[in-house]
Amino acid sequence: MSDNQQINVLLVGGGGREHALAWKLKQSPRVGTIYSTDTANPGLADLCKPIDFPFDLKDPFRIQRWCIANRITLAVIGPEEPLCAGLADMLAGDTRAGGGLGGAVPHVFGPSKEAAQLEGNKEFAKQIMRAAQVPTAEARSFTDFESAKQYAQTRPEPPVIKAAGLAKGKGVFVPATPAEALAALERIMLKREFGDAGNVVLLEERLKGREVSVFALVDGRTIYVLECCQDHKRLRNGAQGPNTGGMGSLCPTLAIDDAMMARVQREILVPTIDALKREGVDYRGVLYAGLMLTHAGPKVLEFNVRFGDPECQTLMARWQGDLAEHLIAVADRRLDTIDLSWSPGVSICVVLAAEGYPDNPRKGAVITGIDEAAKVPGVQVFHAGTRRDEQGRIVVAGGRVLSNVIG
Ligand code: AMP
Ligand code: GLY
């Protein structure tokens, strides 16, 4: 691509993470129009143009045609669902993805469907980790309720219970008692609350320690480790209440030092990418390792194939340089050429959630004070579960509502 060519972006996804990505992409001098698949998010509506057709992954030909007609040069895929469904392959022109128009988008940021199994299929992830000898929690998988129940009862303490498939971040239970473990198994395997995502269930050893989120850009050849973040999962202050999608984040975290980061790269990231390569899987995008720093060293809790939310908001607040160029370099296997640095200091994100979150978020409440908050020096307000009502007011429309970043 020549240096003065304008970059039109298709940004897929409509949460706080995507608002932060759009905000940073907008700062790239060569970015022209950013099209968003979800401009019902008022933050995205301010920065992006809406796409003018229903974005349906079952109609790849229409998506491809639209990308070509609108001269999309970079596609950035935020959430895991479209990645696991093969959107990156479809846009990049892998004909196995069912598309007719190969190569609709020259630069696609996000891993292929095969590589996205690292998040979409926890059994696959465990197999890769075993093959790579990557430290992780001991786990066994089950398809039958009675066998899973019996196994859980024989464990010295209740195991962590996970639906193996994609469950919108809700298919993981960390039970404190055997009764809670049983209830979790019933929800996944008998009531089938997560549908087919619960066909296979993993029962895992419970790891103890501090949790950190390590992100790396990966272009199939080169790994570029980003600043380490910490995500606060529990709903209430003082690490109390149920696990959530993330109530806040910190970047960088003091929980991990340079020596430990080097160890994570050596013992976890590099062997995982190598093991994928041996399986014929080419990983290009961002790899997110959720780690527990245990007494025996760092161990993988899970892999994700996208930026974390709300970790992305804190990463974007400190990201220096041209994000669009960086993401294109990943897509083009030129990661070794990028010039990425971090603004000094720490960025902190605090998530505002709806009353009743995470189980029953109550929608409709009017939110005020956003403009005043955004005027505070160093503060960015990113929209997640918000909408504009008929009178133009911002109202609560989801669980996690706003991410306020100071950085
Ligand atoms: P996951 O989606 O697999 O990361 O799980 C969500 C959250 O559950 C993690 O961020 C941890 O807080 C917790 N968790 C998952 N697996 C384990 C484990 N083996 N031991 C302790 N906590 C875990
Ligand atoms: N912050 C956790 C996640 O994005 O999965």
Digit-by-digit pLDDT tens for the chain (407 residues) are 555 689 999 999 999 999 999 999 999 999 999 999 999 999 999 999 999 999 999 999 999 999 999 999 999 999 999 999 999 999 998 644 444 556 899 999 999 999 999 999 999 999 999 999 999 999 999 999 999 999 999 999 999 999 999 998 889 999 999 999 999 999 999 999 999 999 999 999 999 999 999 999 999 999 999 999 999 988 998 888 888 889 999 999 989 999 999 999 999 999 999 999 999 999 999 999 999 999 999 999 999 999 999 999 999 999 999 999 999 999 999 999 998 999 999 999 999 999 999 889 999 999 999 999 999 999 999 999 999 999 999 999 999 999 888 87
Minimum-distance ligand 2 atom for the alpha carbon of 311: 1
| Ligand 1 geometric centre to CA of 44 (Å) | 30
> For 138-204, which CATH class?
alpha beta
Gap from CA of 301 to ligand 1 centroid (Å)? 5
Any atom of ligand 1 within 6 Å of the Cβ of 161 = no
Write the single-letter amino acid at 192. Answer: R
Pick the CATH number of 7-109 from 3.90.1150.10, 1.20.140.10, 3.40.50.20, 3.40.50.300: 3.40.50.20
Domain 207-346: which CATH number of 3.40.50.720, 3.30.470.20, 1.10.10.10, 3.40.50.2000: 3.30.470.20
Q: Domain-by-domain residue ranges, the chain?
A: 7-109, 138-204, 207-346, 354-407
Confirm if 240 and 218 have CB atoms less than 8 A apart.
no
Pairing of strands 7-12, 74-77: parallel
Q: Is 119 in the pocket of ligand 2 (CB under 6 A)?
A: no
Q: Is 72 helix (H, G, I), strand (E, B) or coil?
A: coil
Atom 8 (ligand 1): residue with closest C-alpha? 172
Integer-rounded Cα radius of gyration of the chain: 21
Provide the 8-state DSSP code for 321.
S
Q: CATH topology for 354-407? A: Glycinamide Ribonucleotide Synthetase; Chain A, domain 4 (3.90.600)
Q: Is the CB of 244 under 6 A from ligand 2?
A: no
Beta-carbon-side half-sphere exposure of residue 329 (alpha carbons within 13 Å): 18
Nearest to 384 by CA among 376, 392, 370: 370
* Residue 211, ligand 1, Cβ within 6 A: yes
C-alpha 187 – ligand 2 centre gap (Å)? 22
User: Kind of pairing, strands 74-77 and 49-50?
Assistant: unpaired
Cβ(278)–Cβ(258) below 8 Å: no
Q: Is the CB of 230 under 6 A from ligand 2?
A: no
Distance CA 215, CA 312 (A): 10
92 burial via Cβ count (<10 Å: 0-12, 13-18, 19+): buried
pTM of the model: 0.95
3-state secondary structure of 275: helix
Determine the atom of ligand 2 nearest the C-alpha atom of 302. Answer: 5
